[in-house]
Each structure stands twice: as structure tokens, then as C-alpha cells.
Chains A and B, each alone.
Chain A
Amino acid sequence: MTGEFDVPKVEYALVLPLLVVFGGALVGVVIEAFASRAWRYTAQVGVTVTTLVAALVSTVLVGVGLDSIGGDVPARGELVVEGAIVVDGPSVFLWGLLLVLSLISALLFAERRLEGGLTSFAGQAAALPGTDAERVASTERIEHTEVFPLMLFAVGGMMVFPAAGDLLIMFVALEVLSLPLYLLCGLARRRRLLSQEAAMKYFLLGAFSSAFFLYGIALVYGYAGSFDLTAIDQAVSASTAGTPLLLAGIALIAVGLLFKIGAAPFHAWTPDVYQGAPTAVTGFMAACTKIAAFGALLRVFYVGFGGASWDWRPLIWVVAILTMVVGSLVAITQSDIKRMLAYSSIAHAGFVLVGFVGLYSGNATGAGITSLSSVLFYLTTYGFSTLGAFAVVTLVRDAGGETTHLSRWAGLGRSSPVLAGAFAFFLLAFAGIPLTSGFMGKWMVFAAAWAGGAWVLVVIAVLTSLVAAFFYVRVIVVMFFSDPGVDAPAVAVPSALTAAVIAVAVAATVLLGVVPGPVLDLAQQAGAFVR
């Protein structure tokens, strides 16, 4: 344990997207400290969008230049920064997806027309709700522009999370993505008590679950003697039987990751937090956190614990079934749109778990979509429709802010057919109706799971999709076939930002449903994880 200290080798070119995002976030912090209040909003939005676009461009460049290293399912990429980060096909695909969706979310964050020229975040979070201080903050038009750097830090954490080649880095990334999100959840301008409550619930439960995750890491470290996923894989494959230490470690790590995904029985936070958080943040969380957490889940279980798949598969089977059933059944009884979308996101987590547990790595001819690629594709389709749906929710308002009670949405299809039509389209995509992206996503995931032998799960998934379709269709019926109430909310006319978000989400939902080929090819080319 003496002496020599080797300078670690950092492949700056390959981790450039991460550096750009974190660099942009730091620039945002500096702006917050030095720019005058009048300029902060413009500067922060500019920096955020520029950063995300630059990171996206560098991600594409990294993706194009990845070296192929062969294998059964051709893998591309390499371990960088002494094995701490893995830049491979799936990482780069997820980076690109996360950056595109964050860019769209950033537009939602920047929307100002809906609150009379202010963002939808609390003017001054330290001012108590209902006090003079809060009123002064809003009359003086004070805004929290810190939300933009917070968002960039969260995006950075989300990008490292699925690309971590080392459990310790994965834990740090988990916290880097979670801590800004806890804060963002508590920053709503309207209904601040709900928002603060959501932040507290998310924080306490999130910290609780990350403690489980960390204890799992400690146990696996005790078993394998290393944090490296590759070394863990070797240790797991070398032994013939799972020891209690390893099994307990796998279970605890699974608890931490399944919590972030929002899988039952670790889903209890999802509806409360999705309902209480500012809707722009909810959309960002629902799309991006889920994508990052699924990426991490895939990497840990496929790369690290692949050799012990017979031990963890039954566990994930049970969780997948429970998640689909709970998500679909409880969603039926919901009367709040945001809560219903939260339960719908739980059900979708179950569908993705079906694809995940299939563990199918293609047939001998190399044809057929692998489990990994199918999950990547599903996350793409789900991310766009979810963001679009939450963007629509921000527009249905009355004097008190957003009206999310389902009964208030009655007759929306008559008063504003375009918006209601877009929302109905997203719901149909969630339900998996053909010619929408949701159908293609479900098809790919179920096909991969079927090919992997998990046909029981596929049957259950199809049945629960039918149940889920019921409550999606119920919302459509309420919107289009019932009369508006006397206190029907108005649909606010958004600025170009939110309009662009909805337009892009509709376009993506159509295109991925009608011509899924290019994105499917990309997902297929992402290939396998580099170990």
C-alpha cells in the first residue's frame, strides 16, 4: 500500500459530452452569482440550451467514432477513465436520448407566458406560502433561475448513471441526479404546500432507497473484492453457487434501482411526487429519470450479475408482474390527471421490465431484436409521449393554476379540439394502439421477451395493457363525449416553447409508430454492453 501514485488516464474526447454538461451547469452557477437579475433568465436559458445542444453534437461525434470490438452481439466502445465510465453503444444511445429529452424539457422549464411573464417555479422558495414576502416576490417579478443549472446537474448525473463501469461511480451518479431533483420538486409557484410535501416525500424515500443501494454495493464489494462491474462479473461467473452475501447484495442493489424506476412494491412515492411537483419537472423526471435508471439497471444486471441470472430472474419476474398489475388497476380509480399519468408510468415500468427480464441476445443469424435494444427503443417511445402529455397538462388552467382534476377536463375536446386531440393521441400511444409509437415499443419489448422464453410474462403484460387501455380511453371519453361543466377551465395559449414541445412530441409519436425503422436500427446498432 505504499508510495507510487499513477496519474489516471482520462480519455477526454470520449467523455466530452459529460464534461460539456457539467461545465455548462457550473457556468450557470457562476451566472447566478454575478449576472444582474434582469439578465439571468435570458443568460440561463441560453447557456442551458447551448450546453445541451453542444453535448448532443459531441455525443453524436463520439457515437460515430466508436470502435467495434465484435462479440456475439457486436459491441462497440471501450472502458475509459480507468474503467470508471463505459462509453459503449448503449451508453451513447442513452446519452443522446437523455439530451434530446432534456432539451425538450428545458423548453418547458423556460415557458413564461402561462404565469403572466414568469416561470412556473416559485419566485422565492425561502418566502413562506401565503405571506407578504411571497407577494412581494411576485410583484417584483423575482424568479428562481437556479432551476436551469440544477437541471443540468441532474442531466449530468443521469448521463453518468447508465454509463458507470463501477458501482461507486454509479452511486455517486445516483445522488448527483437525485439531489437536484429533490429541490426542483419543491419549487412550484402554485400550490406550494403540495410541492413542498412532494419534495419531502421524494427526498426521505429517495435517501432511504439509496441507503439500501449502498449497502448492496458494500455487500457485493465484500463478495467480489472490487467495485468494477467486470471484476464482479468474473467473481460471479467463477463461483458455481450464489453465496448469501452476493444474493443479499443483488437484492439490495435491485431495491435501490427499482425504486428510481418506480416499480411496485417500491412505487409508493411516484404518484405523490408526480402530482405535487411542478408539471415541467414531473415531465422531465418521468421521462429522463426512468431512462437513466433503466440504463443503470440493464448495465448492473446484464454486465455485473449476468452470471447469476438464474438467481435474480425470479425476483424481477415477480416485480414485473406486480408493477404491471398495480399500475394498471390503481390507475383506474384515479381522478387526477397527473396522478393517473403517474400510475400509467408505473405500468410502463412494468412493461419495460418484461423486456428486461427476457434476457434475449438474438438468434444465430443475428436477426431479431435483442432485449437490450428493445428496451432502448421502448424508452425512446415512452419518453417522447410522456413529455408531450405533461406539456399538455400545463396548459389546462383556471385562476388557481393548472386544473388537474379529471372532471374539470370534461368537454375539453369541444372547447379546444387540437389540444385535446394531441392529449388523446398521447393516451392512445400509452395504450399501445397501432400506428402510434407505443404500439411499436410494446411490440418490440414483448417480442424480445417472448423470444427469451418469458411468454407467461408477455401474456400477463398483454392482459394488463388491455386494462390500462380502459382508463386511457375513459379520459378520452370524458374529454370528447361529455359536456363542459359551468366552471370549465380555459386552455391557456402558450408561447412558442410549449407549443414546440407538444409539436415535437406528437411528431415523434407518429414517426416512431409509422416509420420506426431508423430509430430501431440505431437501437439495434447500440449492440451489447462492453464489459
Chain B
Amino acid sequence: MNPGAYITLSALLFSIGAVGVLVRRNAIVVFMSVELMLNACNLALVTFAKQTGDLSGQVAAFFVMVVAAAEVVVGLAIIMSIFRTRRSASVDDASLLKY
């Protein structure tokens, strides 16, 4: 196994997620990009766990999945409440708070 390749892939996924958060306008897509970043973290954790022969990295990946699931619950609730009020999930439309 070549850990370098997996780490590169995870860094790539993480960057795609980060760019997605910054350039996409739909709150749901932004949120999906964050989830992509979390999964990139999982890939890195599992790779390092395999490389060092230490189990805790794999266990950590499970924790991250649970946390991500909890985040989905809270996040979708918030985005839904905004969407129902405004009929739009665009992050550009939510612009009452500024300056």
C-alpha cells in the first residue's frame, strides 16, 4: 500500500470541498461540500491508521461519521426553516445582516 496516494486523494477531496463551500451559492450544496471535507478527513484518518498500525484512527472515523450525521440533522433543520420562509436556499439571498 502506498499511503502517499491515499493522502493525495484525501487532500484533493478536501480542497474540492473547500472550493465548493466558497463558490457554490445553494446552502444545501455548500453543506454537501462540508460533508465532502469531513469524508476527506475520514480517508486521511484511516490511511494514517493503516500506516502506523494503530486502531484509534479507524475508531476516530466512526466518531466523525456520527458527528457528521448529527450535523446533518441540525443543518438541514436550519436550512429548511430558512427555505420555507424565503422560498430560496441561496446563501446570497440571506443578506439582512451586514455592515
Contacts from A to B (Cβ < 8 Å)? 1, 125-126, 128-129, 168, 171-172, 175, 179, 182-183, 186, 192-194, 196-201, 203-204, 207-208, 211-212, 214-215, 217-219, 221-222, 225-227, 271-272, 275-276, 333-334, 339
B23 contacts chain A at the CB level, 8 A cutoff: no
Distance of A131 from chain B, by nearest CB (Å): 9
Known: A207-B71, A218-B41, A218-B48. A275 touches B81 (CB 8 A): no
Considering only CB atoms, which chain B residue lies closest to A174 in the complex? B67
Distance of B30 from chain A, by nearest CB (Å): 6
**Which residues of chain A are near B74, meaning CB under 8 Å?**
179, 182-183, 203
Q: How far is the CA of A289 from the CA of B94 in the complex (A)?
A: 25
Once the chains bind, are A218 and B44 in contact (CB under 8 Å)? yes
Known: A214-B41, A275-B97. A226 touches B54 (CB 8 A): yes
Once the chains bind, are B94 and A215 in contact (CB under 8 Å)? no
**Which residues of chain A are near B45, meaning CB under 8 Å?**
218, 221
| 27 A-B residue pairings within 8 Å (CB atoms) | A1-B55, A168-B60, A171-B64, A193-B96, A196-B85, A197-B95, A200-B78, A200-B79, A200-B94, A201-B97, A204-B21, A204-B31, A207-B75, A211-B17, A211-B38, A211-B41, A214-B41, A215-B41, A215-B44, A217-B41, A218-B57, A219-B44, A221-B49, A225-B48, A276-B96, A333-B99, A339-B99
Once the chains bind, are A199 and B78 in contact (CB under 8 Å)? yes
Q: How far is the CA of A339 from the CA of B96 in the complex (A)?
A: 13
**Which residues of chain B are near A272, meaning CB under 8 Å?**
97-98
Known: A194-B97, A196-B78, A222-B48. A211 touches B37 (CB 8 A): yes
Distance of B73 from chain A, by nearest CB (Å): 8
Distance of A346 from chain B, by nearest CB (Å): 15
**Which residues of chain B are near A333, meaning CB under 8 Å?**
99
Distance of A240 from chain B, by nearest CB (Å): 21
Considering only CB atoms, which chain B residue lies closest to A207 in the complex? B34
Which 5 interchain pairs have the tightest Cβ spacing? A211-B37, A222-B48, A218-B44, A272-B97, A225-B52
Residue among B30, B38, B85, B97 making CB contact with A276, cutoff 8 Å: B97
Distance of A323 from chain B, by nearest CB (Å): 19
B9 contacts chain A at the CB level, 8 A cutoff: no
B16 contacts chain A at the CB level, 8 A cutoff: no
Once the chains bind, are A186 and B96 in contact (CB under 8 Å)? no
Considering only CB atoms, which chain A residue lies closest to B94 in the complex? A197
- List 16 extra interface pairs beyond A214-B64, A226-B54, A227-B60, CB under 8 A: A129-B85, A182-B75, A194-B96, A196-B85, A197-B96, A203-B78, A204-B91, A211-B14, A211-B34, A211-B37, A212-B37, A215-B40, A219-B44, A222-B7, A222-B47, A333-B99
**Which residues of chain A are near B99, meaning CB under 8 Å?**
333-334, 339
Once the chains bind, are A183 and B78 in contact (CB under 8 Å)? yes
Once the chains bind, are B56 and A227 in contact (CB under 8 Å)? yes
Q: How far is the CA of A172 from the CA of B65 in the complex (A)?
A: 11
**Which residues of chain A are near B38, meaning CB under 8 Å?**
211, 214
**Which residues of chain A are near B18, meaning CB under 8 Å?**
208, 211
Once the chains bind, are B75 and A222 in contact (CB under 8 Å)? no
Once the chains bind, are B41 and A226 in contact (CB under 8 Å)? no
Q: How far is the CA of A201 from the CA of B92 in the complex (A)?
A: 11
Q: How far is the CA of A201 from the CA of B84 in the complex (A)?
A: 17
Considering only CB atoms, which chain B residue lies closest to A166 in the complex? B56
Q: How far is the CA of A175 from the CA of B71 in the complex (A)?
A: 8
Once the chains bind, are A226 and B94 in contact (CB under 8 Å)? no
Q: How far is the CA of A75 from the CA of B98 in the complex (A)?
A: 46
Known: A172-B63, A226-B54. A215 touches B14 (CB 8 A): yes
Once the chains bind, are B85 and A193 in contact (CB under 8 Å)? yes
Question: What range describes how many residues of B lie at the interface?
Answer: 35 or more
Once the chains bind, are A203 and B75 in contact (CB under 8 Å)? yes
Main secondary structure, interface of B, reads: helix
Once the chains bind, are A175 and B34 in contact (CB under 8 Å)? no
**Which residues of chain A are near B91, meaning CB under 8 Å?**
200, 204
Once the chains bind, are B27 and A204 in contact (CB under 8 Å)? yes
Per-position contact with A for B68-96: 1 when CB-CB < 8 Å, else 0? 00110011011101101110000100111
**Which residues of chain B are near A227, meaning CB under 8 Å?**
56, 60
Q: How far is the CA of A198 from the CA of B21 in the complex (A)?
A: 17
Q: How far is the CA of A99 from the CA of B85 in the complex (A)?
A: 36
**Which residues of chain A are near B57, meaning CB under 8 Å?**
218, 221
Once the chains bind, are B98 and A208 in contact (CB under 8 Å)? no
Per-position contact with A for B19-55: 1 when CB-CB < 8 Å, else 0? 0010000010011001001101100110111011011
Q: How far is the CA of A380 from the CA of B21 in the complex (A)?
A: 36
Residue among B48, B60, B97 making CB contact with A197, cutoff 8 Å: B97
Q: How far is the CA of A333 from the CA of B98 in the complex (A)?
A: 12
Scoring A203, A207, A208 by chain B CB atoms within 10 A of each residue's CB, the highest score goes to A207
Scoring B7, B14, B97, B98 by chain A CB atoms within 10 A of each residue's CB, the highest score goes to B97
Q: How far is the CA of A178 from the CA of B45 in the complex (A)?
A: 23
Q: How far is the CA of A108 from the CA of B63 in the complex (A)?
A: 34
Distance of B4 from chain A, by nearest CB (Å): 11
**Which residues of chain B are near A192, meaning CB under 8 Å?**
85
Q: How far is the CA of A56 from the CA of B84 in the complex (A)?
A: 41
Considering only CB atoms, which chain B residue lies closest to A273 in the complex? B97
